[in-house]
Amino acid sequence: MMAQWRVPLADLDFDEAETEAVLHVLNSRWLSMGGVTQEFERQFAAMMGAQYAFAVSNATQALHLACLALGIGAGDEVIVPSLSFVATANCVLYTGAQARFADILSADEPTISPAEIERLATSRTRAVIVMHYGGFPCRMGEIMEIAARHNLAVIEDSAHAPGASLAGRPLGVWGDVGCFSFFSNKNLSTGEGGMLVTHRKDVARKVSALRSHGMTSLTWDRHQGHAYTYDVTTLGYNYRIDEIRSAIGLAQLGKLAQNNARRAEITRQYWQALRETPLQLPFSHLEGAAEISPAYHIFPVLLPKETSRWQFMDKMKANGIQTSIHYPPIHQFSYYRRIFPAVTLPQTEQFAAREVTLPLHPRMDKTDLDAVIAALHAALGN
């Protein structure tokens, strides 16, 4: 039995638009990657101002394709944040390259520290993966400058950041490749799904082949009468999305700006309501900063050092409020400990030990917000 939360951590914003989009695909009798996917890619690329966009079945595949298309492999190193979902580092190991874990800037700004990228860069370093935590931008100006100096490719894990921008430039098109997730709990949901964007023609060519078995034509092309046969030019994968999910993606894309604006509003209300509590509120110092337009994917808070997180989360749960942790650091997972036993990242470890994520989704209303805040006061004992 699934728990019935009074306020869940995340919720879908699905209505007739998604239902009709799916029915339209079913009635068209073409389910595998084709015209609807091309339209989803076209509209996503247009929103991003990206030259190329490739829809895939999840962001982990997008990240893997990004590494492969940039030529990353055995003997190479890639700098990654540890305060992220495990896929951010797994994609590097898939290629045979090594991950080098970078610390975050601070508890107030828990994105990758540019000074750490500088510290970790060696002659073997080929790339850096940055992750826009919560949909708040990493320090892209500094990062791009360091990357240029060390000749590093930049991959943006933008799973939290569809529709976000920094200095007017969307997150995901600052670096060489941007990767997005459309998992159920993300800002744009298709159940499972992802997108890779790039402005580089060489990367686009490789991604196009690698996504579909290294083949030179698709079943769709042959259905359209564009090709009779194909060659296989590289060791590829089946990382394709399908028309049903692309149709959901198109419906969701139409709601993204409005839903991100609603997330912004709820975030500001949270910050306002929690300012006088002993909680630390990451990114709240950026409120009103003109050059950033975040996607407000999650709402993280840091508990006072002396507060027991498990007791706090249990008390929230008892009041029907779902909470989570973003993230257990990647370098502390037992698999990664075995490979990289010596890694310590003080800022990341302190942040991760105190972090709790509160509910945030566009369907939350004032009553939901008040319920979370009341439960929070009770759980903190004030």
Ligand X SMILES: *Cc1c(COP(=O)(O)O)cnc(C)c1O
The H or E element containing residue 156 is strand 153-157
Which residue stretch of 39-47, 58-66, 140-148, 252-260 sits at the interface with ligand X (rule: CB under 6 A)? Answer: 58-66
Structure tokens at 131: 């992750």
Task: Determine, following the binding rule CB under 6 A, whether residue 160 of this chain makes contact with ligand X.
Answer: yes
Which residue stretch of 5-13, 28-36, 54-62, 350-358 sits at the interface with ligand X (rule: CB under 6 A)? Answer: 54-62
The answer to whether the CB of 212 falls within 8 A of the CB of 222 is: no
Question: Residue 26 contacts by C-beta under 8 Å, 6 or more apart in sequence?
Answer: 244
Rounded distance between C-alpha atoms, residue 191 and residue 214, angstroms: 26
Task: Determine, following the binding rule CB under 6 A, whether residue 245 of this chain makes contact with ligand X.
Answer: no
Q: Is 7 helix (H, G, I), strand (E, B) or coil?
A: strand
- Please state at what angle helix 309-318 crosses helix 366-380, rounded to 10 degrees: 140
Tell me the closest approach of the beta carbon of residue 21 to ligand X, in angstroms.
20
Strand partners, 56: 194
Task: Determine, following the binding rule CB under 6 A, whether residue 44 of this chain makes contact with ligand X.
Answer: no
The answer to whether the CB of 81 falls within 8 A of the CB of 102 is: yes
Tell me the closest approach of the beta carbon of residue 307 to ligand X, in angstroms.
26
If phi > 0 it is left, if psi is from -120 to 50 it is alpha, else beta; for residue 179 that is: beta
Task: Determine, following the binding rule CB under 6 A, whether residue 220 of this chain makes contact with ligand X.
Answer: no
Rounded distance between C-alpha atoms, residue 104 and residue 338, angstroms: 22
Tell me the closest approach of the beta carbon of residue 159 to ligand X, in angstroms.
3
Of 215 and 359, CB closest to ligand X = 359
Which residue stretch of 29-37, 79-87, 105-113, 357-365 sits at the interface with ligand X (rule: CB under 6 A)? Answer: 79-87
List the x/- string, 95-134, binding to ligand X by CB under 6 A: ------------------------------------x---
Is 315 among the catalytic positions?
A: no
Task: Determine, following the binding rule CB under 6 A, whether residue 56 of this chain makes contact with ligand X.
Answer: no
Task: Determine, following the binding rule CB under 6 A, whether residue 194 of this chain makes contact with ligand X.
Answer: yes
The answer to whether the CB of 346 falls within 8 A of the CB of 106 is: no
Task: Determine, following the binding rule CB under 6 A, whether residue 58 of this chain makes contact with ligand X.
Answer: yes
The answer to whether the CB of 69 falls within 8 A of the CB of 210 is: yes
Tell me the closest approach of the beta carbon of residue 47 to ligand X, in angstroms.
18
Question: Hey, how many other C-beta atoms are within 10 angstroms of the C-beta on 165?
Answer: 20
Structure tokens at 379: 């759980």
With CB under 6 A as the contact rule, the residue among 37, 111, 113, 181 that binds ligand X is: 181
Of 138 and 209, CB closest to ligand X = 138
With CB under 6 A as the contact rule, the residue among 54, 183, 220, 283 that binds ligand X is: 183
Contacting residues toward ligand X, per CB under 6 A: 58-60, 84-85, 87-88, 131, 157, 159-160, 181, 183, 194
